[in-house]
């Protein structure tokens, strides 16, 4: 985990999340190296490695091959992400594994700055702690954990980079009796100073991925990052379209303070987003109190499964809303209610907008149709309605609501609701 992650308040899976684990085969670990060659590698070939966990892994094994008796290597840096404060890359010789760990913003609140070695190092302090004998200085919780695993010496220093003179923290631990030699400390310092180039490249790539994923979604974000940004570019795809909206939003906005309204919308979007993502969908945009999402269908054979997934996500969202507001209601006593419309069709998925302000979204008649179905759901006071095209692709049992003339469309459509 990160250096501050030994507090009993910090829970793996909630405050720290392992996102990558890499283990280099023993046959691929170097058996001889030098500090000079490692420095040359850091400012050269190391920049070509796509995974920074693999970079830290190779660096650690190369340092061991150069004669430095490392037990553990850790690099910490910040990031730009709505959930995560930063990332940590941790290598252990004993497990032969390197982990990429994302650390939530809440961790900074759980550990006071004076007891947090990461914050102290990134404030400019260099830490050196002997972990053996009666003179051991165990003033951080992580040091007790390291000592229990046989560590004898701890060395942490700030590493400058494009994000500031103390953008990162590098920490090295040995289990050799007597700890690090002074020449080894000098070598680790020299190596750490050259590590910033590869660390900056990783941080910039990670921030770009984080921001695009947060604002565009994982699938759309990858497309944009891969270079699909030209205005007018797009592709025709089959997909289940999801359009949802909060009922009586205007009334709610008039009755509640703005901060309360924002909190309610965030909670509603969060429970829908979890269900959508867990069933293979992706949110394209939030529009006021509503959202538009898609469940891409890569082949006709997949239509039955994808429509079933979308329907399951809709039911899950409605059930989650019911559970979330047990005993709660709006000031006038009415409950929070959302309506969801589902439609299966073909859309154009790509870039539209002004020359210097684009939106990567879906357009086409199918998008208009699903929004019209949502309006019918409100008028019929039903939480979930699907189109005839959705029903045909789904193939399961549904309740017919009859044929309805949808605003702006020439032909009526038969609409359906799930069986109770």
Residues 411, 294, single domain; the answer is: yes
Residues 245, 202, single domain; the answer is: no
Query: Does residue 11 form part of some domain?
Result: no
Polymer length in residues for the chain: 420
Distances 388 to 213, 222, 261, 301, 373 between C-alpha atoms, Å: 32, 32, 35, 18, 11
* Domain C-terminal end among 145, 178, 210: 210
Residues 386, 269, single domain; the answer is: yes
Residue 113 confidence (pLDDT) above 50: yes
Give the residue, 83 or 200, on which the prediction is more confident: 200
Residues 203, 235, single domain; the answer is: no
Strands 338-354 and 234-246: antiparallel
Q: Which residue has the tokens 């050269």?
A: 44
Any idea what the CATH number is for the domain that residue 163 is in? Answer: 3.30.450.40
Residues 175, 240, single domain; the answer is: no
Average pLDDT, integer, range 370-388: 92
Residue 339 confidence (pLDDT) above 50: yes
Coil vs helix vs strand at 70: strand
Residues 157, 261, single domain; the answer is: no
The pLDDT value recorded for residue 324 is 66
* Domain C-terminal end among 210, 235, 251: 210
Residues 165, 269, single domain; the answer is: no
Of 7-16, 140-149, 394-403, which gets the smallest average pLDDT?
7-16
pLDDT-derived band of residue 212, with 50, 70 and 90 as boundaries? low
Query: Does residue 197 form part of some domain?
Result: yes
- Put simply, whether the predicted model's pTM sits higher than 0.75 gets the answer no
Query: Does residue 217 form part of some domain?
Result: no
Query: Does residue 215 form part of some domain?
Result: no
Residues 122, 268, single domain; the answer is: no
Tens digits of residue pLDDT in 19-52? 899 999 999 999 999 999 999 999 999 988 989 9
Q: Name the nearest CA neighbour of 107 among 126, 129, 121, 88.
A: 88
Residues 353, 290, single domain; the answer is: yes
Of 70-84, 109-123, 244-258, 402-416, which gets the smallest average pLDDT?
244-258
pLDDT-derived band of residue 333, with 50, 70 and 90 as boundaries? low
Residues 200, 245, single domain; the answer is: no
Instruction: Tabulate helix, strand, coil % of the chain (nearest 5).
Output: 40, 30, 30
The pLDDT value recorded for residue 9 is 45
Q: What is the 3-state secondary structure (H, E, C) of 130-184?
A: ECCCCCCCCCCHHHHHHHHCCCCEEEEEEEEECCEEEEEEEEEEECCCCCCCHHH
Residues 162, 277, single domain; the answer is: no
Average pLDDT, integer, range 125-139: 92
* Domain C-terminal end among 182, 210, 238: 210
Total domain count, the chain: 2
Residues 289, 194, single domain; the answer is: no
Any idea what the CATH number is for the domain that residue 259 is in? Answer: 3.30.70.1230
Query: Does residue 10 form part of some domain?
Result: no
The pLDDT value recorded for residue 177 is 96
Query: Does residue 1 form part of some domain?
Result: no
Query: Does residue 216 form part of some domain?
Result: no
Distances 362 to 147, 285, 314 between C-alpha atoms, Å: 56, 10, 20
The pLDDT value recorded for residue 215 is 65
Query: Does residue 414 form part of some domain?
Result: yes
Query: Domain containing 265: what range?
Result: 224-418
The token duo for 111 is 């550990």
Residue 65 confidence (pLDDT) above 50: yes
Average pLDDT, integer, range 308-329: 81
């Amino acid at each position: 985990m990160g250096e501050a992650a030994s507090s009993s308040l910090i829970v793996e899976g909630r405050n720290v999340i392992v996102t990558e684990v890499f283990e280099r085969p023993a046959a691929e670990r170097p058996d001889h190296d030098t500090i000079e060659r490692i420095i040359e590698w850091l400012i050269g070939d190391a920049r070509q490695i796509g995974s920074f966990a693999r970079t830290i892994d190779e660096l650690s094994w190369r340092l061991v091959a150069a004669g430095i008796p490392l037990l553990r290597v850790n690099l910490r840096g910040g990031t730009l992400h709505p959930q995560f404060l930063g990332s940590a890359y941790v290598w252990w010789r004993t497990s032969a594994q390197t982990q990429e760990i994302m650390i939530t913003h809440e961790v900074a609140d759980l550990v006071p700055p004076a007891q947090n070695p990461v914050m102290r190092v990134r404030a400019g302090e260099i830490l050196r702690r002997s972990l053996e004998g009666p003179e051991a200085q165990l003033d951080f919780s992580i040091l007790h954990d390291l000592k229990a695993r046989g560590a004898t010496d701890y060395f942490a220093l700030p590493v400058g980079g494009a994000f500031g003179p103390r953008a990162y923290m590098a920490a090295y631990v040995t289990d050799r009796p007597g700890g690090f030699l002074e020449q080894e400390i000098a070598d680790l310092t020299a190596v750490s100073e050259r590590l910033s180039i590869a660390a900056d490249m990783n941080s910039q790539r990670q921030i770009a991925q984080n921001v695009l994923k947060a604002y565009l979604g994982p699938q759309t974000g990858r497309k944009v990052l891969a270079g699909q940004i030209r205005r007018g570019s797009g592709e025709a795809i089959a997909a289940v379209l999801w359009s949802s909206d909060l009922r009586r939003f205007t009334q709610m906005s008039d009755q509640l303070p703005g901060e309360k309204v924002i909190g309610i919308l965030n909670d509603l979007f969060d429970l829908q987003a979890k269900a959508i993502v867990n069933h293979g969908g992706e949110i394209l945009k939030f529009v006021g109190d509503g959202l538009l999402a898609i469940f891409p269908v890569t082949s006709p054979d997949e239509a039955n499964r994808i429509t079933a997934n979308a329907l399951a996500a809709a039911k899950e969202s409605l059930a989650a809303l019911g559970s979330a507001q047990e005993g709660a209601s709006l000031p006038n006593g009415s409950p929070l209610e959302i309506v969801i419309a589902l439609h299966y069709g073909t859309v154009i998925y790509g870039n539209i907008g002004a020359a210097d302000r684009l939106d990567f979204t879906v357009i086409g008649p199918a998008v208009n149709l699903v929004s019209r179905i949502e309006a019918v759901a409100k008028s019929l006071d039903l939480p979930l309605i699907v189109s005839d095209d959705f029903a045909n692709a789904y193939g399961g049992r549904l309740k017919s609501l009859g044929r309805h003339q949808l605003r702006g469309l020439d032909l009526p459509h038969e609409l359906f609701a799930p069986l109770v």
